[in-house]
Amino acid sequence: MADLSKIRNIGISAHIDSGKTTLSERILYYTGKIHAIHEVRGKDGVGAKMDSMDLEREKGITIQSAATYCTWGDYSINLIDTPGHVDFTVEVERALRVLDGAVLVLCSVAGVQSQSITVDRQMRRYSVPRLAFINKCDRSGANPDRVIEQLREKLQHNPAFVTYPIGLEDKLEGVIDLVNMKAIYFDGPSGDDIRTEEIPANLMPKAKDLRRHLIEVAADHSDALMEKFLMDEEPTAEELTAAIRLGAISMKMTPVFCGSAYKNKGVQTLLDGVTRYLPSPNEVENHALDRDQNEEKVTLSNDDNKPLVMLAFKLEDGKYGQLTYMRLYQGKVDKGDMIYNIATGKKVKVPRLARMHSSEMHDIESATSGDIVAMFGVECASGDTFTDGTVNYTMTSMFVPEPVIELAVAPKDKAGQVNFSKALNRFTKEDPTFRVTRDEESGETIIKGMGELHLEIYIERIKREYQTEVIVGRPKVAFRETISQRADFNYTHKKQTGGSGQYARVGGYFEPLPPDAVESYEFVDDIVGGVIPREYVPACDKGFREAIKEGTLIGQPVVGVRATINDGNTHPVDSSEQAFRTAALMSFREVYNQCKPVILEPIMKLEVSAPEEFQGTVIGQINQRRGVIMGTTTDAGYVVIESEVPLSEMFGYSTDLRSVTQGKGEFSMEFEKYQAVPRNVQEEMVKEYQKKRAEGNK
């Protein structure tokens, strides 16, 4: 059995363009997994190892999280490089769901950006301990001290430098190791030769200050260290390391490393940090729900002799067929074993087990708890739990955000229909945020996703991987409807035909849910005295659920509704489940307009960064798009403008921004919330919808 204390399952995540993939590439190089370094947008045409899709290489971004494994000293590291672009946020979610630790990469010039905040929120959601790596210390304007301040202010971390750069910008030479108080230089063309020297005299006062701060932050997690700190005694490197480790694993402290992945400086010290300060699978508590015991929480243990429990967290349709990435939480699995899918109840044989190295695979015979492996020929969906059949456990599912944008798509010619359907089928299985529906009125196929780039990538993949040309309609925003005031209902459904009829009466009220409600619909059963028999109550709930699928303003789903039933009536012969379902459905339609319905639109959090001289123009542009400026900060000649803008106004924004900033403006955008549209816009939208319906009915 592998020594679990020597395994690290880590992810690398950050804002787009912070250098995650470049960092992963260096890690693979220094751990001996690859023998030459290739850049993300390299001139050699090879591209980064971890960006294995052609599309990733062309656009210079990461689309799918790539998994690999490597060894550093006597430690085994399973590494997942995740995308930084907000449109692929589910890739980050599913990676963090199964990881024990993470490295948050920050750019030493841009610091904490909007996507860094999102990633940090995801790490908190899954309680993933992290280190921070301040990358790009060789760029002009690099300022790690400012970045650590932002970690404190914007992300509420408790950070402390563990390494600090020697020189900045083009004078970056190496890093100071504040635990051992040594200067470390990375010599040779690829930074392979590590040279340890005394700290330069001019940097000694700064190093002493930083070490004192590091001890102060770490002392909160170790009584022995706190005692030494208060007595002004110097702790040993071992004592300090142990305290930093406790702080990092409890997520009460963030150890910060510095360097430049591109210039090959500081990556090896970060790897040391990963093995020293991030937890092994043994130190992380994982839970499953026991379906035989009313979904009671069960703590899983990394014991190979216990029943197998593993989670399929990512699917990929590779050149070898469906590849399923699995994380083992308990027990072990061998090639040829029988495993059970708890979600479907089906049993499958494990035909092939492999460790993935980006798009290459290395076959293995067995895997033990704490491992991340890939399997072939295992039919399942993302998020399914597998066991050996002796336990009925399910792992909790991951958070999947709702799509905010939709497109009508169709294959260019009839011949492409089969491949087109195959592609959509596969993508919906792989990516829970990619949804496909059919518009009943127009008969169109609608795809929904997290943003323009998200859908653009999938359309491009249909063309490339399935050789099918696609006709694409105009992007549409996923609007919603909601109610703004309470209304009572009392509806009787009567239908008399030959034989038994239908009869049901329901009474109660609809009211808006509070803005901070987690669910978008709530059903309250206030029936007393059995005026509606127990067996018909769920039918009322079903009827309401059906009714809110489509509002009457613009035919969009209705959210934020609480439906309460407190009265009703039945007929001894004519009442049925169907009758109550219909009564509930019709009662909602009847009083919907009395609830003063409003249209909601997705509001995006927009962060624009541009040279200061364009500030006025950029703000003007945001105002034209119904944007609300939330704040501006200027730094090193650049202004960062944060605002909230309706998604419907953001189409074509990248072209506009580039043209007014001479190509120097950059922006990132992520979904923030749903908000009511202005009255004039609502009236316009309702008119448009009614006109379309009238035309459709002709």
Q: Return the top range by mean pLDDT from 120-134, 344-358, 591-605.
A: 591-605
Averaged pLDDT, 655-681:
82
Backbone φ, ψ for residue 60 (5° rounding): 70, 25
- State the pLDDT at residue 509: 92
Q: Return the top range by mean pLDDT from 5-14, 251-260, 383-392, 494-503.
A: 251-260
Residue 133 to residue 164: CA distance in whole angstroms: 11
Question: Which has more pLDDT, 640 or 668?
Answer: 640
- State the pLDDT at residue 57: 44
Contact predicate 661/614, CB 8 Å: yes
How do residues 241-289 score in pLDDT, each as one tens digit? 888 888 888 888 999 999 888 888 888 898 899 998 988 888 888 888 8
- State the pLDDT at residue 50: 43
Contact predicate 532/591, CB 8 Å: no
- State the pLDDT at residue 98: 79
How do residues 459-488 score in pLDDT, each as one tens digit? 888 888 888 888 888 777 888 899 999 999
H or E element in which residue 646 lies: strand 638-646
Mean pLDDT of the chain: 81
How do residues 530-574 score in pLDDT, each as one tens digit? 888 888 889 999 999 999 988 888 888 898 899 999 888 888 888
How do residues 71-111 score in pLDDT, each as one tens digit? 888 888 888 766 545 555 665 666 677 788 888 888 888 88
Q: Is the pLDDT confidence value at 30 over 60?
A: yes
pTM higher than the cut 0.85: no
If DSSP states are collapsed to H, E and C, what string results for 135-171?
A: ECCCCCCCCHHHHHHHHHHHHCCCEEECEEEECCHHH
- DSSP secondary structure string, 538-588? HHHHHHHHHHTTS-TTTSPPEESEEEEEEEEE--TTT--HHHHHHHHHHHH
CA gyration radius, the chain? 29
Averaged pLDDT, 313-318:
70
Residue 425 to residue 429: CA distance in whole angstroms: 6
Distances (CA, A) of 345 to 331, 388, 614: 19, 12, 60
How do residues 438-462 score in pLDDT, each as one tens digit? 876 667 888 888 777 778 888 888 8
Among candidate residues 292, 296, 284, 360, the one with its CA nearest the CA of residue 327:
284
- State the pLDDT at residue 319: 60
- State the pLDDT at residue 45: 37
Question: Which has more pLDDT, 590 or 125?
Answer: 590
- State the pLDDT at residue 62: 40
Q: Is the pLDDT confidence value at 38 over 60?
A: no
- State the pLDDT at residue 137: 86
Q: Is the pLDDT confidence value at 46 over 70?
A: no
Please tell me the least confidently modeled range out of 7-11, 65-69, 114-118, 200-204.
65-69
Among candidate residues 69, 112, 50, 64, the one with its CA nearest the CA of residue 92:
64
